[in-house]
Amino acid sequence: MAPTNLDRQLTQLEASRYRFGRNEAASVVKQLNRLNAKRFPEPASLIRFHEALLFLRAFPQGPAVLRATERILNSFHKKVEALRKAGANMDDFEPIEVSGIAGTEMEDTLSFDVASWLIQRLPGKVEIAWEHYDPGRELGTTGPRFMPLLEDDAYVEADTPWRRWLETAAKKGSDPAWLVPTWLVQRFADLPLPPNQKAELYESLRVPLRWNLGNSDITRTRNWKPVPSVFYHREPLISRSQVSLAAELARRPPQLTRLSRQQGDEVMDMIREVMLVRYRELYGTTLGDPRSVVQAEVSAKARADLGTHEAARGVSIHLWNLPPDRRLPLRAYVAGLTLKNGVPVNYIEAIALCEWMEVGFNTFYTFRGGEAGWIYAQVLRCLCHLMGTTCISVYPYQLGHENEEAIESGAFWFYRKLGFRPGRPELQKLVEREEQKIASDPKYRTPARTLKRLAAGHVFYDVQKNELPGSEVGAWDRFSTRNIGLQVNRRMAQDFGGDAVRMREHSRRALERILRVSTSSWTPLEKAAFENFALVLADVPALRAWPEEEKEDLVRIIRAKSKPDEMLYLHLTQRHGRLREALLKVGS
């Protein structure tokens, strides 16, 4: 079909995102105003307009572009509502790539922590999606905690009316439907249990919630924050080919500023908003510690003809840890978020042990043409500085393992061209053969089946010793904490009949004897950390022969796991060569 006038105008606007010059801003504003006056006949064209607006809000060519995008986005829900009234298929707004637009509805099964937060954040707009919910036995088992006599129905009847039970317990007469999920979540919040157990019980119910976004600032459409200074793009964006990861990591580390508790709470709210409307939850974005948030305003080197000057580029990176009672047993966890001129453009996850860290980095679909390579390099600069890590690993899913979107985008080559190497020798040989084909034929494209093979293993970037303190290349290529966990469970099955309590007690006592300590006066979190290390170190027979000083250092490391700043724990593991060697051996 021949493109319509609307199609042509949208294509022109999309192309203008990458055009820069003295008069370009005025041209873009004219295009925006012209399209804003249009009637959009179906969701696809309106979604295209929305995504172009968001990109231009993050990467504006001038103040007039910024003002125009904000004005249109702030009233964008009216365009969505006009489509709904015209009978358009609103399902087109549901895919993860475009979800979260103002004026739309969303539905998802959320964790307890996010469900509690959402009900408070959007009061009166969250309800149970009953047409997709038939709880059955799980509610019959859990519900009697707060619905008296439910057992007499749920335990013996085949047709228990679950909705009627919940609505009868929660509502008074004709109270609105949103009271039911509010009441249900509050009942779990009131249980005299630790937070993780409340979450475990609620999440066993798998309650699908539906919420109306309206014109809330939770939406992708309006989810940006005001910034003191906006960076306007007068020159072409930084392409991936212009980024040298080695050079970026060799630069002076960025300054990390600790935020106040109030500012940290605001960042935690923002990341939950950002992830919610994209149907995503990460452990660290849901459960981040607001007291640990640090922020970096990163800069770029200016053009060569301007000397060594560095200029701010409107990029702000926020990083944080987990609270002590939600930490992982062995690895230290950092999550994060990047803002471009106040607009969220990606989320970050880094999980580390000693000098090794595994990094997850996801640039949101809308912004994948916007300096993703350079921003990724700045994220790694911040992470290496904060965490002290020198071996960077990317897990297979990010490369395309069981991830078709990453295969289609050629994600493997994004990392390879930045300098990452496969950790498996056969994959290293395969990538070298592919590079030879590319060098001999510029039109050659790696087939999807080959990209899937390349994505089967981790890739690594080893920070060179002349840039940051490093370790031997390849030391962590075969390591996985999963290997440690499986080894511990294998021993539990073989030596303790599958009894985790007995194994924990035996391991704790054994490690106390070896280290000559008593944990009786330790805090509960310190005791839990000690037990976890005891399970792992039971497979290290040479531990008894460690020098006393190194045993004392090990005790300090274990107790640091529950300190307010988990980075202390991570940095201590980097200084204990014998512990590092033991963990590598068990985990490889």
Cβ pair 435, 427 in contact under 8 A = no
Q: What is the pLDDT, as a whole number, of residue 304?
A: 47
How would residue 66 be classed by pLDDT, with cut points 50, 70 and 90? very high
Q: How much is the pLDDT for 539?
A: 78
- Give which of 511, 508, 578 is closest to 549, Cα–Cα: 578
Task: State the pLDDT at residue 465.
Answer: 52
Q: For tokens 């590319």, what's the residue?
A: 438
- HSE of 432 in the Cβ direction (CA atoms, 13 Å)? 8
Q: Is the alpha carbon torsion for 130, 133, 136, 142 positive or negative?
A: negative
Element at 12 (helix H, strand E): helix 5-16
Q: Is the pLDDT of residue 175 over 50?
A: yes
What are the extents of the domains in the chain? 5-93, 105-212, 232-388, 481-587
Is residue 307 very low, low, confident or very high in pLDDT (cuts 50, 70, 90)? very low
- 223 vs 202: CA distance, rounded Å: 29
Statement: residue 341 has pLDDT above 60: yes
> 344-361, pLDDT tens digit by residue?
999 999 999 999 999 999
Tokens of 475: 């030391």
pLDDT tens, position by position, 378-398: 999 999 999 999 999 999 999
Report residue 23's pLDDT band, with 50, 70 and 90 as the boundaries. Answer: confident
Phi, psi of 424 (to 5 degrees): -100, 130
Q: Which of 18-32, 181-195, 466-480, 502-516 has the lowest mean pLDDT?
A: 466-480
Beta carbons of 510 and 534 less than 8 angstroms apart: yes
pLDDT, one tens digit per residue, over 271-300 is: 999 999 999 999 999 999 999 999 999 988
C-beta of residue 92 within 8 angstroms of C-beta of residue 111:
no
Q: What is the pLDDT of residue 472?
A: 80
pLDDT band at 309 (very low <50, low <70, confident <90, very high): low
Q: How far apart are CA 579 and CA 529, in angstroms?
A: 15
**How far apart, in whole angstroms, are the C-alpha atoms of residue 374 and residue 54?**
19
Poorest-pLDDT segment among 134-138, 248-252, 334-338, 406-410: 134-138
Instruction: Output the six-digit token pair for 114.
Output: 């996010």
State yes or no: pLDDT of 305 exceeds 70. Answer: no
Rounded Cα–Cα distance for residues 251 and 254 (Å)? 9
Angle at 205 between CA 166 and CA 190, to 5 degrees: 70
| DSSP code of residue 232 | P
- With a CB cutoff of 8 Å and minimum separation 6, the contacts of 204 are 138, 142
**Does the structure show a pLDDT above 80 at 407?**
yes
pLDDT at position 439 over 80: yes
Tell me the per-residue pLDDT of 533-560, one tens digit each, with 9 for 90 and over.
999 998 788 999 999 999 999 999 999 9
Mean pLDDT of 109-114: 96
Torsional sign, CA 272, 273, 276, 280? negative
pLDDT of 467 over the 80 cut:
no
CA 357 to each of CA 188, 250, 331, 360, 570: distance values in angstroms, whole numbers, following the listed order: 36, 18, 9, 10, 10
Average pLDDT, the chain: 94
Residue of 323, 318, 263, 275 whose CA lies nearest to 296:
318
Give the tens place of pLDDT for each residue, 495-527.
Answer: 999 999 999 999 999 999 999 999 999 999 999
Mean pLDDT of 469-483: 85
Alpha-carbon span 11 to 3, nearest angstrom: 10
Q: How confident is the model at residue 306 (pLDDT cuts 50, 70, 90)?
A: very low
pLDDT score at 1: 52
Closest CA to 46 of 12, 72, 85, 80: 80
**Residue 312 pLDDT:** 84
Which structure tokens are listed for 550?
Answer: 């190194």
Q: How confident is the model at residue 104 (pLDDT cuts 50, 70, 90)?
A: very high
Quick: pLDDT tens for 367-381.
998 999 999 999 999
Q: Which long-range contacts (CB under 8 A, 24 or more apart) does 272-275 make?
A: 272/114, 272/117, 272/121, 273/121, 273/217, 273/218, 273/223, 274/223, 274/337, 274/344, 274/347, 275/347
Q: Using H for helix, E for strand and C for coil, what is the string for 182-224? A: HHHHHHHHCCCCCHHHHHHHHHCCCCEEEEECCCCCCCCCCCC
